[in-house]
Structure 1
Amino acid sequence: MTQSAITVSLVEEARGGPFVFWDGLPDAFQRAADLGFDAVEIFAPGPDAVDRAELRQLVASTGLAVAAVGTGAGMVKHGLNLTDPDAGRRAAARDFIKSMIDFGGDFSAPAIIGSMQGRHGGEVSPEQALDYLAESLEELAAHAATFQLPLIYEPLNRYETNLINTVSDGVAFLDRLQSDNVKLLADLFHMNIEEANVAEAIVAGAGHIGHVHLVDSNRRAAGLAHMDYSPIAAALRAINYDGYLCAEAFPLPDSQTAAEKTIETVQRFFA
Structure 2
Amino acid sequence: MIHSCVTIALVPQIKTGPWIFWNDLEKSMAQAASLGFDAIELFTADAKSIDLHHLEDLLKLYSMKLAAVGSGAGKVIQGLTLTDSRPEIRNQAISFIQDMMDFGAYFGAYAIIGSMQGNALPDAREEALSHLQFALEHLGKHAEKSGVPLIYEPLNRYETNLFNTLSAGGEFLDSLETRHVKLLADLFHMNIEETDIAQSIRENAHWIGHVHWADSNRRPVGLGHTSMQEIAHALKEIQYQGAISAEAFPWPDPYAAAQQTILSYQQYFKS
Please give the per-residue CA displacement for 1:81-103, whole angstroms capped at 9, x wherever unaligned. Answer: 00000111100000000111111
Whole-Å Cα distance in 1 between the matches of residues 63 and 147 of structure 2?
22
What corresponds to 1:217 in structure 2? 216
| CA displacement at 1:37 relative to structure 2 | 0.5
Unaligned runs of 5+ in 2: none
Q: Distance in 2 between matches of 1:212 and 1:171?
A: 15
Give the CA deviation at 1:11: 1.1
Give the stretch that moved more between structures: 3-12 or 139-148. Answer: 139-148
Partners in 1 of 2:201 and 2:28 — Cα distance?
A: 29
- The equivalent residue for 1:130 is 129
In structure 2, what is the equivalent of residue 71 of structure 1?
Answer: 71
Q: Please report how far the alpha carbon of residue 26 of structure 1 lies from its aligned counterpart in structure 2 after TM superposition.
A: 0.4
Within 1, Cα distance between the matches of 2:31 and 2:77? 27
Q: Which residue of 2 aligns with 1:43?
A: 43
Q: Distance in 1 between matches of 2:128 and 2:27?
A: 40
Deviates more, 1:153-162 or 1:135-144: 135-144
User: Aligned partners of 2:153, 2:104: CA distance in 1, in Å?
Assistant: 17
Q: Distance in 2 between matches of 1:165 and 1:270?
A: 27
Task: Give the 3-state SS of the residue equivalent to 1:241 in structure 2.
Answer: coil
Q: Deviations over 1:105-136 (max 9, x none)?
A: 111111000000000015x7111111111110
Q: Does the CA contact (< 8 Å) of 1:141 and 1:179 recur in 2?
A: yes
Report how far residue 58 of structure 1 moved.
0.5
Partners of 2:88 and 2:7 lie apart in 1 by: 31
Structure 2: distance between partners of 1:97 and 1:16? 22
Identity within the alignment, %: 50
Q: AA paired with 1:179?
A: T
- The amino acid that maps onto 2:57 is Q
- 1:138-149 equivalence runs, <5 A: 138-149=137-148
2:94 partner amino acid: R
**Which residue of structure 2 aligns with residue 187 of structure 1?**
186
Give the Cα–Cα distance (whole angstroms) in 1 for the partners of residues 183 and 97 of structure 2: 16
Match of 1:105 in 2: 105
CA separation in 2, counterparts of 1:44 and 1:56? 16
In 1: Cα distance, 2:236 partner to 2:110 partner: 22
Matched, 1:30 2:14: no
Correspondence list, 1:83-102, <5 A: 83-102=83-102
Structure-2-length-normalised TM-score: 0.98
Normalising by structure 1, we get a TM-score of: 0.98
Judge which range, 173-182 or 23-32, deviates more.
23-32
Q: List structure 1 segments (4+ residues) > 6 angstroms apart after TM superposition.
A: none
Residue identity matched to 1:10:
L
Q: Distance in 1 between matches of 2:65 and 2:232?
A: 23
Residue 257 of structure 2 corresponds to which residue in structure 1? 258
Shift of 1:179: 0.6
Q: What is the CA–CA distance in structure 2 between the aligned matches of 1:57 and 1:29, rounded to whole Å?
A: 12
| More moved, 156-165 vs 22-31 | 22-31
Q: CA deviation at 1:23?
A: 2.9
Residue 208 of structure 1 corresponds to 207
Contact 1:8 1:21 survives alignment (8 Å): yes
User: What secondary structure does 1:14 align onto?
Assistant: coil
Corresponding position: 1:236 with 2:238:
no
| Greater alpha carbon shift after TM alignment, 140-149 vs 255-264 | 140-149
In the alignment, is the contact (CA less than 8 A) between 1:211 and 1:245 conserved in 2?
yes
Give the distance between the partners of 1:2 and 1:69, measured in 2 at CA.
18
Secondary structure in structure 1 of the residue aligned to 2:244 = strand
1:169 is aligned to 168
SS at match of 1:13: coil
How far 1:46 sits from its partner (Å)? Answer: 0.5
Asked if 1 retains the 8 angstrom alpha-carbon contact of 2:11 and 2:23, the reply is no
Provide structure 1 residue ranges, at least 5 long, that are not aligned to the other structure.
none
Distance 2:155 2:78 in 1: 20
**Deviation at 1:13?**
2.4
2:81 matched to which residue of 1?
Answer: 81
1:17-59 C-alpha deviation (Å, 9 max, x unpaired):
0000003210121111100010000000011111212101111
- Counterpart amino acid of 2:242? G
Paired AA for residue 158 in structure 1: R
RMSD: 0.9
Q: Which amino acid aligns with 1:154?
A: E
Work out the number of aligned pairs and report it. 270
Mapped to 2, the partners of 1:110 and 1:238 lie a distance apart of: 23
